[in-house]
Structure 1
Amino acid sequence: MKASWKKKIAITLGILGFVITICLVFVKILYGGGTFYPSVNTTPIKQNSLKVLTELPYPPGMVASSQEGRLFFNYHMLHKPERFSQATLFEFVDGKKVPFPNIETQDKFYHAMGITVDHHQRLWVTIPRGLDGKQPSKLLAIDINTKEIVFEHQFKEGVGIFAQDLRVSLDGKTVYLADCGFLPLAVPSLIVLDIESKSSRVLLKDHSTLAPQNWLIQRQDGKPHQLFFGLLSFKVGFDGLAVSKDGHWLYMAAMSHDTVYRVPTRVLTDKNLDDEKISSFIEEVGKKPLSDGIELDKDNNLIITDVEYGSLAILTPEGKLNTLVQDKQINWSDSITIANDGTIYFTDSRLTDLINTLAQPASKEKIIANGPYKIYKVLP
């Protein structure tokens, strides 16, 4: 009798092991493959203009400049800096980081991802639900002069789960958010929020211009960036966005994608147009590296971070792509902003150095040991 039960248990465990193996193979085939992206690097055209703005104890995430030249940044939420630091959102003042808007309200901005300053003196902050999943995705705005929170919105369940970057229309009435998605958990989309009514539309969901292509992101050691012991390749969708200087175009770039696109902003706010109609207005701008943040300069050149080669690329309006600056010490060029005087600021978030295969952040000891962490500037 005992032998019979042991045999049944062994058969059951064998079947279970077989099913699990088949499932893992299926996941690997579906989400773990890919091809290395061919390098689009060229000889840097402004290498001597690359400078270190500041050094930090924890990795920076996003950076944003105001029209008057004020500079804001945060620590990168995937490193979970709130474990060690009460403040995670800052203004850079006279060479020092100052908690913004103040130290007392910092807990409202824990898990913040994207930041941007609009033309109406407001610092906008996204707090995506993301991998944490413990809170609804939120959007807040702070008046940078009064330091008061002037807008707060909680998205509906399932909206903006990975809304990690954003831009605001020139008239200050509309917010565009890039929800990058994260296969197999979510798909990328563009969220358009009407500020006055607090109503939002989820557009171009899993559209080919926003979805990741089958490219592997290469680490500095030459290995592919993969998660869960190689089961998932780190492929990210819609990640970078920028509004043209005249406000007529929204530029869109998926991280694991070879092309930048743009779409007229007027069609995004037209509630009579569905995804099919909107997609007919999308234009191809040009080729790009595998990227994170993007931004337009005063001459309508698109400045693009290159997450594989520690560099920034520049894409001209005519579609010519070159490397702008490069430094082998840069691990992951992340967020970018351009001040009115033409100075480019960007962060190195060091994602591939410190996030492990289970997408978990490093310990404080490891983070400190690998520091300091830098925000760079490129002089005009």
Structure 2
Amino acid sequence: MEHRAALTPATAKQLIKAGFQITVEESDQRIFDDHEYAEVGCTMVPFGSWKEKAPSDAYIIGLKELPENDTSPLHHTHIFFAHCFKNQAGWKEILHRFKDSGKILDLEFLQDAQGRRVAAFGFMAGFAGAAVSLDVWCHQKKGLKMGALKPFQNEQALIDYAKGNLRETLLHEGRHDNYPTLMVMGARGRCGSGAVDFAKKVGLPAENIIQWDMEETKKGGPFPEIMKADIFVNCIYLNQKIPPFMTQEMIDSDGRQLTVICDVSCDTTNPNNPIPVYSVNTTFDQPTVRVKTSSKRPLDVISIDHLPTLLPRESSNMFSQDLLPTLMELKDIESSSVWQRAQRLFYEKLHLATLTNKL
């Protein structure tokens, strides 16, 4: 169900105008049709041809995950979300493929001088995470099993669906004003602001949107307040070990109101995951996993690591447009502080892994 693209036809057009040569692989999975790229001047090639046919000095831009069942060495410079710099599952295997002459310039770690990411899917991840959370809550209230998710054509279509679903659920409950409470952790960041934006657009009253950030969490968890919300959306960026937000004892409590957790941050395999009540990623086909609890009240977790593809065209356009100025700097990568920081980080991680005999 992944339909996003790091490079859209609109940004490709601007890069070509600036003198770049853009080669795009054909794909029937991507939200943008092949002809949209061809019409702006991209050279189209068969799917999967980059490994054998791309020039050695080409930048290979992708989104996530290299092709499966292939451990052969890689010699190009790859720009994508590698998910291997924070010791995630499979990190050793990914780095091993690049240890001879390849390179990873990770999209997650393209940062300006102040440490802010130059482009991120965070806003749309939070927006989509809140949307799926509300959908799960509605299904719970109506006693229905949550089915597979499908991407929406645009934001308005998603909002219209969510409003109708919520209205139907409240009528089923017999109270048209019995709105759920939705708590957002990390509400002031990109991701959290997306979750809050969705909650407002779908019509949740302001008092039902609980926004927590650094000030509210400075004392450190666990936080019993989370158990008082119906829906909890975690949007923090985890870069160090922190106390857990909740414990199994809190989950087992009969006084728990919480029935839906959406871990947008999705640090499932991170040893420092502050939501230590689940251990698997969920998918668009199976959006939730039920947490084991002695309480009679159910608890479902959403841990989908590519939520923005719920709105693939808008997510891609927003991300790629933000990334464009940095892509322009590839003309003179040696003078770009963003790309140089990304390159140093790759070599640091590679060196550290080598020193600890991990490769």
User: What TM-score results when the alignment is normalised by the length of structure 1?
Assistant: 0.27
Q: 1 or 2, which has the higher strand percentage?
A: 1
User: What TM-score results when the alignment is normalised by the length of structure 2?
Assistant: 0.28
Q: 1 or 2, which has the higher helix percentage?
A: 2
